[in-house]
Amino acid sequence: MTDILALVRDKRDTLSKSHKKIADFIINNPEKTAYMTVSKLSERTGVSEATVVRFAEKLGFSGYPIFQKNLLSYVKGKLTSIQRMELTYEKMDEESVLDRVLKSDIMHIEKTLENIDRKQFEEAVEAISSAKRIYITGVRSAAALAEFAGFYLHLIFDNVRLIKSTGGDDLFEQIMNIKEGDVFIGMSFPRYSQNTIKALEYAKRNNATVIGITDSKNSPVSNMSDICLFAECDTTSFADSLTAAISLINALIASVGLKNRQLLHTNFERLEKIWDEYGVYDTK
């Protein structure tokens, strides 16, 4: 990951007076700047919009959007809950929360669909379908994603293991026998879980196929993965917006089910009989 703040600091003394004003603002407010448009940054620093654009180019970027994308990737995993909450309150008022959040989630799904690497997606489907054992983990907010994936994949295969962690090293006891032929699915979004990263590293070292589900190529999950799927997420709220991630996992499950449709059909025939016999669902 590029240390973009270090780049700004290194270039500062070579910049013009106007560009130094922008640099100083970014150094002191990197989290806020990452979510600012050209016009907003122009307004906050008292320089023209053209000056903001030229500043990004002076740093070696092709334009402000690329600079902003790099800065956003840099700060994403570093935002504290309080910083995220403050950014949320700056962006929306009480009356607009419903509209803004739902529209933001829709945008995240659209961006995920637009940017998904379909070859990587198909490789993930193939790897899961042919795995000897399937390990799945996600902690903190990503735990819900792991639970969802584990629940449905278990309906298809009997070799699925949902790995849960209490925050200690108990995770390694659950994956100690992972080896070649197995698949390890690790999910983590900003702020990234060190336990998940360590587990991915262990699985990779033991020659398992590692499938990462995260937010960007700058994520440490991406560096540890043989196959990595990216879902857009919003970290400007104290509650993680993982709508795109759950949608991506849903698509992955559906594709695996389609590839193994005969096995899935057989399993559901047995399950329906069990559910009826033991009254699992209300049929009234």
Interval 149-159: pLDDT, tens: 999 999 999 99
| Collapsed DSSP state (helix, strand, coil) of residue 116 | coil
How confident is residue 218, by pLDDT bands cut at 50, 70 and 90?
Answer: confident
pLDDT mean over 236-252: 83
Return the pLDDT at 226.
Answer: 97
CATH class label, 110-276: alpha beta
**Residue ranges of the chain that CATH labels 3.40.50.10490:** 110-276
Give the rounded percent of residues in the chain with a pLDDT score beyond 90. 57
Bigger pLDDT: 62 vs 124: 124
Per-residue pLDDT band for 143 (boundaries 50, 70, 90) equals very high
What is the side-by-side order of every strand in the sheet holding 160-163? 160-163, 134-138, 183-187, 209-214, 227-230
Q: Would you say 235 and 76 are in contact if contact means Cβ atoms under 8 Å apart?
A: yes
Asked if pLDDT for residue 228 goes beyond 60, the answer is yes
Mean pLDDT of 249-274: 94
CA-to-CA distance for 52 and 54, rounded, in angstroms?
5
Please tell me which residue, 33 or 226, carries the higher pLDDT value.
Answer: 226
The boundaries of every CATH 1.10.10.10 domain in the chain are: 4-76
Angle between helices 243-259 and 261-277 (to 10 degrees): 100
The chain-wide mean pLDDT, for the chain, equals: 87
Q: Which two tokens stand for residue 193?
A: 């879980």
**Segment among 51-55, 71-75, 107-111 with least mean pLDDT:** 71-75
pLDDT at 98: 79
Predicted confidence (pLDDT) per residue in 176-200, tens digit: 999 999 999 999 988 788 889 999 9
Which pLDDT band, with edges at 50, 70 and 90, does 81 fall under? Answer: low
**Contact between residue 193 and residue 209 where contact means Cβ atoms under 8 Å apart:** no
Average pLDDT in the 15-21 region? 92
Prediction pTM value:
0.73
Architecture label for domain 4-76: Orthogonal Bundle (1.10)
The answer to whether residue 95 scores a pLDDT higher than 60 is: no
